[in-house]
């Protein structure tokens, strides 16, 4: 029972970080219908920016804030330079551009920061676990969970109560109707990329505190894809729930199945679950099912 509870709690905490990155996928897809295959590299860039500031002696919270600001700027620049001219073009064209962006971002990271594993020194969080009843939880997991939940609440509130957030949702629901009401599609797309860059950077920073930081963190972008598909590609609540479910699934498969299938069952299990789930519910838990009448 202790193993079950520890696995469940840790899975939820890691899943909250996955939910942040999944939110970036959903934002871009909701606004433009494009799967951003450079999401993992965006996560990597944000994490390395935080690490760079922290290594220069800047307090961790300020480092994270600077990472958010720079991520916001990089998101707008990415959309303006690479994607602005593609508005109205076939979706496949834009997706292939994001593939090119993933290689470009990865090469930039390797050029600036190298490929060796780097850690936050001195450690941001205490190595001494926190005791909650019968459970012992690493401080980094607990604070990562708290930070992820706070940011998720901020993002959800932004979409529900602010004018910009409502404009983004309107564009996602019906672009032509939003344009007729004076909503700028260029602004919406740029804002979506900026917020996605910010969310990915926070997720990468937290994961870097858990496992260290190297180029393989970029794999997180594909690892989060099952969470996005599970929740529904255009559902913000779905991204949150999907991230939590994938975190639980990954931890339970590692705890209970790794002894029978050694060699990376934790990484394979979410994709196996995604394939099986899509057979029964192709649009995810809260995805939009488009109905065409002929």
pLDDT tens, position by position, 180-194: 777 777 888 888 889
Task: Look at residue 30 and tell me whether its pLDDT is greater than 80.
Answer: no
Query: With contact defined as beta carbons under 8 Å apart, do 29 and 234 qualify?
Result: yes
- CB half-sphere exposure, 217, CA atoms < 13 A: 35
At 294 the pLDDT is 52
Fold entry, domain 2-280: ABC transporter involved in vitamin B12 uptake, BtuC (1.10.3470)
**Predicted structure pTM score:** 0.86
pLDDT tens, position by position, 113-169: 988 888 888 888 877 778 777 777 878 778 878 877 887 788 778 877 888 777 777
The more confidently predicted of residues 176 and 9 is: 9
pLDDT tens, position by position, 75-95: 999 988 988 888 767 778 888
For the segment 274-292, the average pLDDT, to the nearest whole number, is 75
At 66 the pLDDT is 93
């Amino acid at each position: 029972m202790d193993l079950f509870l520890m696995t469940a709690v840790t899975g939820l905490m890691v899943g909250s970080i996955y939910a942040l990155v999944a939110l970036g996928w959903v934002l871009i897809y909701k606004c433009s219908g494009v799967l951003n295959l450079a999401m993992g590299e965006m996560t990597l860039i944000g994490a390395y920016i935080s690490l760079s500031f922290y290594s220069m002696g800047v307090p961790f919270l300020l480092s994270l804030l600077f990472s958010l600001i720079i991520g916001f700027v990089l998101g707008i620049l990415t959309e303006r330079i690479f994607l602005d001219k593609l508005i109205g073009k076939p979706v496949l064209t834009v997706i292939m551009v994001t593939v090119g962006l993933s290689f470009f971002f990865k090469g930039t990271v390797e050029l600036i920061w190298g490929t060796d594993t780097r850690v936050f020194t001195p450690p941001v969080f205490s190595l001494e676990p926190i005791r909650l009843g019968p459970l012992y939880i690493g401080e980094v997991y607990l604070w990562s969970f708290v930070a992820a939940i706070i940011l998720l609440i901020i993002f959800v509130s932004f979409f529900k109560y602010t004018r910009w957030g409502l404009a983004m949702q309107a564009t996602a629901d019906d672009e032509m109707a939003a344009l007729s009401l004076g909503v700028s599609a260029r602004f919406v797309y740029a804002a979506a990329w900026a917020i996605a860059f910010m969310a990915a950077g926070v997720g990468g920073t937290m994961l870097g505190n858990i496992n260290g930081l190297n180029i393989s963190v970029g794999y997180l972008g594909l690892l989060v894809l099952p969470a996005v598909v599970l929740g529904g590609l255009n559902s913000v609540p779905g991204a949150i729930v999907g991230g939590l479910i994938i975190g639980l699934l990954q931890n339970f498969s590692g705890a209970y199945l790794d002894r029978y299938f050694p060699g990376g069952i934790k990484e394979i299990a979410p994709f196996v679950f995604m394939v099986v789930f899509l057979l029964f519910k192709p649009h995810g838990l809260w995805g939009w099912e488009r109905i065409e009448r002929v």
